[in-house]
A = this chain, B = another copy of it.
Amino acid sequence: MQLRGQGLSLEHAILGFLSEHARSGYDLKTRCFDIDAKAFWTADQAQIYRTLERLRTSKLLTSSVRRQTGKPDRKVYEITASGHESFSEWERRAAALPSPRDAFLLQVYFAAELSDDEITGLLRDRRASHQARLEELRLEAVEASRDRSVSARASVLRQAAYAGATAAERAAIDWLDDMLDAISAGLLPGSGMSDADGQRPLFGLAPA
């Protein structure tokens, strides 16, 4: 009964894009997902076509083939009234937070057997990735702000969404910087077992 962590967002994202106007699968992939919503959601082309088909058989959208000159036919999908209803319901629904799933935090959690230098390397790499994503995000937000085809309200909300993604990247970078500072200040203890109890060496592995 209760809505799980998330799920089915792709369907709603597609309905959202088709709420603006009718589009083909190709448009959705190359325009909407590869550009507009890149910062929030990614979708494979195959995934998009499968989902379109599912939505069509659920009568949430209809399709019609349009001839083009010089190009293959386009199959254009249009949202139906019940499609819009479904989208609208999703849009208003407060979903639960997704369950945590962060491989990098796990890596840090277990990092005790790495040397300070190895840890520092991982943190720096990670920082660079977030920095790069931050820059992409900045460009995407600027690009989006140029889109005059949407209402002022929609435009502000889109910028708010970019701001949310941006805030997350910045927070990650700040946290990484704090850790890097702490390590270079020598605040990470060595790997000695602090005292009495605790585990024996697990088995004879290659001496570090």
Binding site for B on A (CB under 8 A): 6, 9, 12-13, 16, 19-21, 37-42, 79, 81, 84-85, 87-88, 90-92, 94-114, 118-119, 121-122, 125-126, 129-130, 133, 138, 141, 145, 148-168, 170-172, 174-175, 178-179, 182, 187-195, 197-199, 202-205, 208
Contacts and interface: CB of A to CB of B under 8 A. Distances in A.
Q: Which has the most chain B C-beta neighbours within 10 Å: A98, A99, A168?
A: A168
Contacts of A191: 151, 153
A27 to B, nearest CB: 15
Contacts of A155: 199
Given A152-B190, A156-B202, 18 more contacts: A19-B113, A84-B205, A104-B164, A108-B164, A138-B208, A149-B199, A151-B189, A152-B199, A153-B190, A160-B179, A162-B205, A163-B203, A164-B172, A164-B175, A164-B204, A166-B205, A167-B171, A167-B204
A102 B41 contact: yes
Interface of A is mostly: helix
A114 B92 contact: yes
A195 B145 CA distance: 12
A172 B167 contact: yes
Copies of this chain in the oligomer? 2
Nearest to A146: B199
A94 B162 CA distance: 26
Contacts of A178: 163
Contact of A141 (B9, B42, B113, B205): B205
Contact of A42 (B96, B99, B151): B99
Contacts of A167: 171-172, 174-175, 204
A157 B107 CA distance: 10
A164 B172 CA distance: 7
